[in-house]
Amino acid sequence: MSRTRRRANRNNNHRKPHSSFFDIPYRPIVRNQWAPYEIAGPDRIAEIHDKSMQILENTGMRFMDEEAIDLWEKAGAKVDHKRQHVWPDRGLIEELVAKAPSSFTFRARNPKRSRLIGENSINFFSAAGTVFANDLDRGRRPGVQEDWVKLAKIAQMTNVIHIGPLQTVVLHDVPVHAKHLEMFLMASTILDKPHMGVSHGYVIPSDVIEMAKIVHGEDLKPELGPVTGGVVNVNSPLSYDDRMLGGMISFGRAGQFIVVTPFILAGAMSPVTMAAAIAQQNAEALAGIALIQLVRPGAPVIYGGFTTNVDLKSGAPAFGTPEGAWAFFIGAQLARRYGLPYRGSGSLNTSNVPDGQAMSESMWSLWPVVMSHTNLVFHAAGWLESGLTFSYEKFIMDCENLAMVEHMLAGPEWSDDAYSLESIDEIGTAGHHFGTAHTQARYQTAFYPNFLHDRRNNGTWLEGGGEDTAQRANRLWKEVLKAYEKPPIDSNMEQALQEYVTRRTKELENVALYD
């Protein structure tokens, strides 16, 4: 052994154990360079458009907010103030939807973390809106702030998670009126990635926007792109309530984006047939997007798809289904028809444990969203139990698939050096390529570096403890958490955020948030 080799080995032995989790690069942009997978022809897309316009023109939609009704009326739509009902015609809808940008930059506190939303970009965002936390050590329990902090730190350290957490778990130990304040503070300080805000009612969004101003400056410069965004799950069928509309109007007015997402379980919130569910999704999404354009023409919006079926034996939601895959594929096609960025979901499943079903079903949402050119992938990691639970282990398990997706989308290297006909000729018809100069020069970086999937043979695996995937993921999330480093933040900014939260927590104590 040469002296150099010995020294290298010695250094290796003294080095801290290194998981290839940390070898996965942060990619400032991930694109799907290949054509989107489309399962409906242009005539079918035109037909869905026509049916959805018929729904808006004939059945109409409810908007439970006077300002929204006024906006529609001024724009010339047929409205009924008493019933809070609107029948927008297709000309108006198309004219308004055309004002929305086809892409925008979602700006982060750290400009290097800003993300393009639109075109053929893809962005991953971990599970949001979950209630419980679950890990192998402590089991399933209501989420608390400690979980939120841990999961935010893990998200910051995870290069395939591009967008910071929203409601990772419900903060059961924080008063209702302070949850949105605490979440925005934590997301702004634990991470330097872009992150969403809460967009319910009028009070909460105004706090979100005020806090965003502390981070990004008094003029949010919406012309450079939004610095926060909110999610609105339509109250399907065909209704937006006042909480939703408050958020849409507030965020729209401030030039911050809204993900308008009909959450349709076919058979419950729409007819049982997927054609109807998809047409209704389109009607609901476009009506919301059009309203936001009435508030502020050119406001950034995202067309959201979250349509799947119910389990008709139990009435429970069914996630990771063929029906859901159709809806993801066609939803993306519809968004492209309107020139809008598209949102889907990446790890939907109904399993109670991070097992084979959990991962099979998750791949029934991840593959469709990737192949359909979904720009913003919600719930890309950690979702369990139909979204009730955030699983620490499943987060890691999903991240392996996300990292593999990013690697796949980069595509193979094509060059004479990569074809390497010389190496093929050198080895000829016998022997193997392990030892060639060509292999030796590349072997450390040639392939996707798996960090969780275990390829050891049965004997070695058993000797190593015979851990299954969830058990290995349990060790890994702790390593990742331990490696957390707080990203730099201006101390005045952090103090101002903290003071805002303290002040508003007091002020909001007796305020009804959704009035």
Ranges within 147-206 binding a second copy (CB under 8 A) = none
Instruction: Mark 108-137 with x for binding to a second copy (rule: CB under 8 A) and - for no binding.
Output: ------------------------------
Phi, psi of 256 (to 5 degrees): -100, 155
Site membership for a second copy, residue 511 (CB under 8 A): no
Binding to a second copy (CB under 8 A): which residues in 406-445?
407-408, 411-415, 417-421, 423-425, 427-434, 436, 438-439, 442-444
Binding to a second copy (CB under 8 A): which residues in 82-101?
85
Contact in structure between 79 and 112 (CB atoms under 8 Å): no
Nearest-CA neighbor of 308 among 361, 252, 242?
A: 361
Q: How far is the CB of 372 from a second copy (least distance, A)?
A: 11
Q: How far is the CB of 111 from a second copy (least distance, A)?
A: 30
Q: How far is the CB of 423 from a second copy (least distance, A)?
A: 4
Selected from 44, 78, 141, 337, the binder of a second copy by CB under 8 A is: 44
Contact in structure between 32 and 370 (CB atoms under 8 Å): yes
Q: How far is the CB of 46 from a second copy (least distance, A)?
A: 12
Total binding residues for a second copy by CB under 8 A?
121
**Whose Cβ is closer to a second copy: residue 273's or residue 502's?**
273
Q: How far is the CB of 130 from a second copy (least distance, A)?
A: 13
Q: Helix, strand, or coil here: 410?
A: helix
Select the span of 74-82, 154-162, 387-395, 481-489 touching a second copy (CB under 8 A): 387-395
Q: How far is the CB of 335 from a second copy (least distance, A)?
A: 18
Instruction: Mark 264-293 with x for binding to a second copy (rule: CB under 8 A) and - for no binding.
Output: --xxxxxxxxxxx-xxx-------------
Site membership for a second copy, residue 138 (CB under 8 A): no
Nearest-CA neighbor of 117 among 127, 128, 102?
A: 102
- List strands edge to edge, sheet with 78-80: 78-80, 85-87, 61-63, 239-240
Selected from 367, 479, 484, 489, the binder of a second copy by CB under 8 A is: 367
Q: Helix, strand, or coil here: 186?
A: helix
Q: What is the DSSP string of 323-378?
A: HHHHHHHHHHHHHHHTT--EEEES-----SSSSHHHHHHHHHHHHHHHHTT-SEEE
Binding to a second copy (CB under 8 A): which residues in 307-346?
309, 311-312, 314-318, 320-323, 325-326
**What contacts 166, CB < 8 A, 6 or more positions away?**
125, 128, 129, 183, 187, 195, 196, 197, 198, 231
Q: How far is the CB of 232 from a second copy (least distance, A)?
A: 16
Site membership for a second copy, residue 38 (CB under 8 A): yes
Phi, psi of 289 (to 5 degrees): -65, -40
Task: Find the radius of gyration of the CA atoms of the chain.
Answer: 24
Q: Which two tokens stand for residue 322?
A: 């063929």
Which residue's structure tokens are 């700006």?
A: 107
CA dist 2 and 393 (Å) reads 42
Instruction: Mark 477-506 with x for binding to a second copy (rule: CB under 8 A) and - for no binding.
Output: ------------------------------
**Whose Cβ is closer to a second copy: residue 187's or residue 277's?**
277
